[in-house]
Amino acid sequence: MRIADSLYGLAQYVRLENKMTQKTPWYKDAIFMELKTRAYKDSNADGWGDLPGLTSKLDYIKKLGVDAIWLLPIMPSPLRDDGYDVSDFCDIFPAYGTMDDFKTLVNQAHQRSLRIVVEIIPNHTSDQHPWFQASRNSNHPEHAKYRDWYVWSDTNKKYQDARIIFTDSETSNWTFDQLRGQYFWHRFYSTQPDLNYDNEEVQQAMLDVIKFWIDAGADGLRVDAPPYLFEREGTNCENLPETHAFLKRMRKFVNDYSPETLLLSEANQWPEDVIEYFGSGDEMQMNFNFPLMPRLYMALAKGDRTPIEEILARNPDLPEGCQWGTFLRCHDELTLEMVTPEERHWMWETYAPDPKQRINLGIRRRLAPLLDNNQDKILLLHSMLLTMVGSPFLYYGDEIGMGDNVELFDRNGLRTPMQWDASRNAGFSDAPSDRLYAPVIFDPVYGCQNVNVAAQEADPDSLLNKVRRLIAVRKQHPVFGRGDFAWRAFSFETKAVLAYQRKWEGTRIVVLNNLRDVPVKGWIPETAEKFIDLLSGETILPGDYSLPPYGIRWLQPVGDKPNTPSGPNAPIEGDLGSDRQ
């Protein structure tokens, strides 16, 4: 790389650091994209996406409006769990490139004011990891060091109150190891033995892993599955005090070593439990809002915002500097762990009528197929994602409406090659098609011949360009990432419209999301002389208003003139809002 490029990258990074020291943390305003390196772009025609290929697509990601890229696991792995079974925490999976390729990606990202978030998996390793191989084998030269790095037992009867997470493939959280002659504990697949966090050396080793990736240039770390780090008899082995003590230690280490680094937690728990992962602002800065996500789909299918109201009522206030991560879809199944059994059955019947579409306690479908490839519904959910409380996470390919392949193993049908154009292999790779890590989707609806970036970039009315527009407007208004949230009522059929006010430092915006496939008439629930629709630029006067089927409006009030409710669509008293409230 030229010296000038390197100096430019350094200058960009310094500017990023300066922004991070401001009062509002960078991640509160950020748009994140989750992507699989293997699936994004192949640079060397071997059929696998890689880091140089991803680097070549940074301009596309920047143009979409993304601020930070979350990379799914990039470390060496036998891929029994698609990279979540790590065999070396401090290197790059060979098919993806080298550490130099990673550093080039970071440098090029920083030149574009993009940040890189790396995934770490602290709970477990692959059974092929050298630590486990030494731990299980008494004749291994390093057995004495690693003997107690994993959770071993002479019996498989311990910790019986802990649930089995992968119910489709595992019947126990214990597996017998013939070589050691004991059982080892695993909360996920039996090829992923859990580390023993009661061992101080294990804790220090994971802090060393964190330091390694910060030194390599990562701006943030997504911490996989933190609720399961410790085990205690008589508990469900989740959310234990010892787990939070270690996570606070992790945060203190990061704050002391690199205070601008984000720690993003994947704690799939109820609101009352997940709040503990923020601590008092001394644990994780961000955590995904898992209970909210399925209720977005429930509300849409029912045409009733009640499920969202009920779960948000349970959300505690976050400590200063903390933020929710919100999402519509991801690399895993649409998880239904944080719903009731009755709600889970209803969601399966509604969104996964084919049993092949179900896995574990969730649904293995992408966004567009879930929503019948209906662009209005896809944009409606994006409106919720981008305007409700939290920082939004996009999943690669959803911005163009990619489909899925439920015939592939496990959740792999959600991780197919990115569809760049209509050419062979969708522009993803120049390798022979039979050498691709997974087949490109070619079905009549979602195949790359119909759904691809090149075609949608050329069409101003495409899903891609409309999503770009929504993101661009969101980024112009910090109120969405920083502001207060208050419910509003659009009409006497208040449940049909997801209406709420966002307010921050004198700015207020009222958002209307019609959950139904018919027009809904109502009264705009805000005091103003007039309203500007931020999405269309249209000026709307107070009074009766008709919201089209699945219609969305992001309305900025102009003035604070009293707006007396009257007429057949006027809201009930008390539902109007203003800066004076």
Q: Please tell me the distance from the alpha carbon of residue 503 to that of residue 508, in angstroms, as a whole number.
A: 4
Helix ranges (DSSP H) in 67-152: 99-111, 130-136, 143-146
Catalytic residue among 34, 82, 231, 266: 266
Q: What is the largest CA-CA distance in the chain?
A: 84
Work out whether strand 182-185 and strand 152-153 pair parallel, antiparallel, or are unpaired: antiparallel
- Three-state secondary structure call for residue 138: coil
Residue 405: how many other CB atoms lie within 10 Å: 19
> Residue 231 is encoded by which pair of tokens?
């085990």
Task: Determine the Cα–Cα distance for residues 147 and 135; give it in Å rounded to an integer.
Answer: 4
Kindly list the distances between the CA atom of residue 168 and the CA atoms of 361, 362, 410, in Å, as whole numbers in the listed order. Answer: 9, 11, 10
CA dist 401 → 31, 104, 296, 372, 420 (Å): 18, 30, 18, 10, 12
Which string of DSSP letters, residue by residue, matches 335-354? E-TTS-HHHHHHHHHHH--S
Please give the backbone phi and psi of residue 7, each rounded to the nearest 5 degrees, phi first. Answer: -65, -40
514 phi and psi, to 5 degrees? Answer: -80, 115
Tell me, what DSSP letter sits at residue 2?
Answer: -
Residue 48 and residue 38: Cα distance in Å, rounded?
A: 5
Q: Give Cα separations from 398 to 73, 385, 393, 425, 468 (angstroms).
A: 20, 13, 11, 18, 12
Catalytic residue among 34, 224, 260, 283: 224
Neighbouring residues of 423: CB distance < 8 A, sequence distance ≥ 6: none
Active site residue 224: yes
Instruction: Using only the alpha carbons of the chain, give its radius of gyration.
Output: 24
Task: Please measure the distance between the N-terminal and C-terminal CA atoms of the chain and give it in whole angstroms.
Answer: 56
How does DSSP classify residue 308?
A: H
* C-beta atoms surrounding 380 within 10 Å: 22
Residue among 249, 255, 208 nearest 226 (CA): 249
Burial class of residue 109 (count of CB atoms within 10 Å of its CB; 0-12, 13-18, 19+): buried
How many beta carbons lie within 10 A of that of residue 463, not counting itself? 20
Q: Point out the residues that are catalytic.
A: 224, 266
